Chain A
Amino acid sequence: MKRKLVWTVIERMLLVFLVVYIVFPLLVPIIFSFSIRWTDIFPDGFTTQWYQKIIARPMYYQGLMTSLLVAISAVVVDILICVPAAYSINRLGGRVGSVLREASKTLPLIFPPIIVGIAFLRGFNRPPFVWGGSLFLAVFAHAALGFPFMFRNVLAVFQTIDERTLSEAAASLGANLWQRFRYVLIPNVIPGILSGALLVFAISMGEFQVTIMIAGFGWRTLPLLLYRSLIDDIRVASAISGVLVTTSIIAFLGMTLISMRIGAGKLRGVERE
């Protein structure tokens, strides 16, 4: 009995350690950004002045807006590409779908950000495509990085619904392709689209490796400003990190909620049958 108790205590302590290992580095930027100073073991005081600073200074405010613009645009681009493609690939049958899903896992590993960055530098700085340094290019670079994740999420949801039966039922009622998408298919695959969107958004907001390689002189995203401020202004760095951590956590909570809703939705579907 005693031995068992010791084990339980050890397991509890391990669990606490494992939770702290992840939670602590996530909380550090948030705590730092709301404290007046943190030069000793514990932070001192409470303030929102670092956040006021990033909102008040045009450079940081524009950085925030640029990041949001790029992230939202990358999400939209990925949705416009992946939803029709996933529909079509799902119709091509399980084999094509599973091959492409496998590819969407391997390709980002073979073509990591450093390669995407140099490819964009080489490909779009000379005719026929001279887009070097433009924000437009950043949008598509982020869309390219996020697109395997969006594709996988959307295709996975398409594979769980009985798309053919739904489409045929809608078609027999006279719905054309667009109407079937608008009123039948999209409402059914929206969880996959939403969780893909959150993932792409979070990836884009925090993206640094490709962005620093293709950045132009006219714009900077939050991670680029964070890179600079890590060296000159640790306070501003804490506020930017706080914003980015919060974005990741919110995106992540959203994805968790959606996957819970999908589970609940499936149960409801069973009940109806």
Chain B
Amino acid sequence: MRKVSHEHLLLIPLVLFVGLFVFYPLSCVVAQSFVGSRGELTFQHYLNAFTQSRFVTPLKNTLWFAGICTLIGAVGGTFVGLLASRMSPSLRNFLLSLYSIPMTLSSLVVAFSFIVLFGRHGVFNILLSRYLGLPKFNLYSWQGLIVTYSFYNIPLMTLTMAAVFLNLDKSVIEAARNLGAKPWQAWVYIIVPALAPGFLAGVSIVFAGMLAAFGTALALTGMAMNLFPLQIYSLVSEGELNLPQASALAVMLVMVIAFSLFVLNKVERWLKPEAK
């Protein structure tokens, strides 16, 4: 026990690192979001963010975009997760391993693959127009971005939901059925409440990620799609340099993400059977 105090010295690198490379720069962002052009204290940048349409529109777009992407990811991931939970263990491990690869994949590589597959002269579009006579799929549009980002979101949600389905206690469902519950009753009163917390945890990860996503969008459509993170990026890149405004938008983005996570977490806790 006498060494305990020495051993806590081992936390020093962590504390230094987090202090210097996390807290310090983040506090600079917060501080500078309140600094005006002549160095005075101002709320102008936040006012701009709420009143100027060039900032309000992208925020609305991003909320919609993240919502739709999350919905598709959630539905797709739940479906694949359910299928995976019904497979034999070896097959399931194989599929889930495969579905964890996109997580580490560079956003630009995904952009490249989707350009080759779905771009103007992409393989998929040649098939569509030549053999089916259908109009081409436009990758460089909102739909295109949604399809591309689903390549991240569906696998992410699949991993969560497969675990949730596997942890589902089947004996409780059987007990309910034996006590005379109809299938829909078993779903409404047993299965859905049991799945909901894990589902919401997955949804939070996807939604938070999508609120801040801009890499693939930048590579595919440049600045054409008016997303909030892209707006922040354009304010710090050479084109239109306005760092204090970008800082204010960044603080707002953190607030929006934190608020969404907070709400989803509250709902998740409220639904958890043992918390009731």
Cβ–Cβ contact A41 & B127, under 8 A = yes
Give complex CA distance A32, B22 in Å: 40
Cβ–Cβ contact A245 & B109, under 8 A = yes
A114-B250 contact given A18-B80, A123-B25, CB 8 Å threshold? yes
- Chain B residues contacting A88 (CB-CB under 8 Å) are 7-8, 10-11
Q: Does A25 contact B (CB under 8 A)?
A: yes
- Chain B residues contacting A153 (CB-CB under 8 Å) are none
Cβ–Cβ contact B253 & A123, under 8 A = no
Known contacts A118-B236, A241-B109; 13 further A-B pairs (Cβ under 8 A) = A29-B109, A84-B11, A111-B26, A113-B215, A114-B233, A115-B26, A121-B236, A177-B3, A177-B6, A206-B104, A234-B115, A238-B116, A241-B108
**A88 → chain B closest CB, angstroms:** 4
Of the residues B28, B126, B205, contact of A109 by C-beta under 8 Å = B205
- Interface class of chain B by DSSP: helix
Enumerate the 9 nearest inter-chain pairs by beta-carbon distance, A residue then B residue, closest first.
A206-B106, A123-B25, A112-B212, A119-B25, A84-B10, A85-B14, A25-B113, A109-B208, A202-B104
**A107 → chain B closest CB, angstroms:** 8
Bitwise, B106-124 to A at CB < 8 A (1) or not (0) is: 1111111111110001010
Cβ–Cβ contact A208 & B108, under 8 A = yes
Of the residues B11, B112, B214, contact of A237 by C-beta under 8 Å = B112
Q: Does A124 contact B (CB under 8 A)?
A: yes
Cβ–Cβ contact B109 & A244, under 8 A = yes
A230-B112 contact given A19-B95, A22-B155, A248-B101, CB 8 Å threshold? yes
Q: Does B49 contact A (CB under 8 A)?
A: no
Cβ–Cβ contact B98 & A124, under 8 A = no
A121-B233 contact given A25-B113, A81-B13, A114-B250, CB 8 Å threshold? no
Chain A residues with CB under 8 Å of chain B are: 11, 14-15, 18-19, 21-26, 28-29, 32, 38-41, 77, 80-82, 84-85, 87-89, 91, 106, 109-115, 117-124, 129, 140-141, 143-144, 147, 177, 199, 202-203, 205-209, 212-213, 223, 226-227, 230, 234, 237-238, 241, 244-245, 248-249, 251-252, 256
Give complex CA distance A252, B113 in Å: 19
Cβ–Cβ contact B233 & A22, under 8 A = no
Cβ–Cβ contact B10 & A248, under 8 A = no
Which B78-121 residues sit within 8 Å CB-CB of chain A? 80, 83, 87, 91, 95, 97-102, 104-117, 121
A206-B108 contact given A22-B99, A115-B212, A249-B101, CB 8 Å threshold? yes
- Chain A residues contacting B123 (CB-CB under 8 Å) are 38, 41
Give complex CA distance A62, B108 in Å: 19
Count of CB-CB pairs between chains A and B under 8 Å: 209
Give complex CA distance A89, B12 in Å: 12
Give complex CA distance A251, B233 in Å: 30
Cβ–Cβ contact A251 & B97, under 8 A = no
**A263 → chain B closest CB, angstroms:** 11
Can you spell out 24 A-B residue pairs with CB atoms less than 8 angstroms apart? A18-B95, A22-B101, A25-B151, A77-B17, A81-B13, A84-B10, A85-B10, A88-B10, A112-B209, A112-B229, A112-B257, A114-B232, A114-B233, A115-B26, A115-B253, A119-B22, A121-B236, A140-B21, A144-B17, A206-B106, A209-B107, A213-B233, A226-B109, A241-B112
Cβ–Cβ contact A110 & B29, under 8 A = no
**A58 → chain B closest CB, angstroms:** 21
**A79 → chain B closest CB, angstroms:** 10
Of the residues A199, A205, A238, A256, contact of B97 by C-beta under 8 Å = A256
A252-B100 contact given A119-B28, A206-B105, CB 8 Å threshold? yes
Give complex CA distance A262, B225 in Å: 45
**A186 → chain B closest CB, angstroms:** 13
Q: Does B72 contact A (CB under 8 A)?
A: no
**B265 → chain A closest CB, angstroms:** 9
Give complex CA distance A32, B4 in Å: 57
Give complex CA distance A272, B111 in Å: 50
**B115 → chain A closest CB, angstroms:** 7
Of the residues B17, B104, B236, B257, contact of A213 by C-beta under 8 Å = B236
Q: Residue on B with the closest CB to A122?
A: B28
**B22 → chain A closest CB, angstroms:** 6
Give complex CA distance A32, B115 in Å: 12
- Chain B residues contacting A19 (CB-CB under 8 Å) are 95, 98
Q: Residue on A with the closest CB to B106?
A: A206
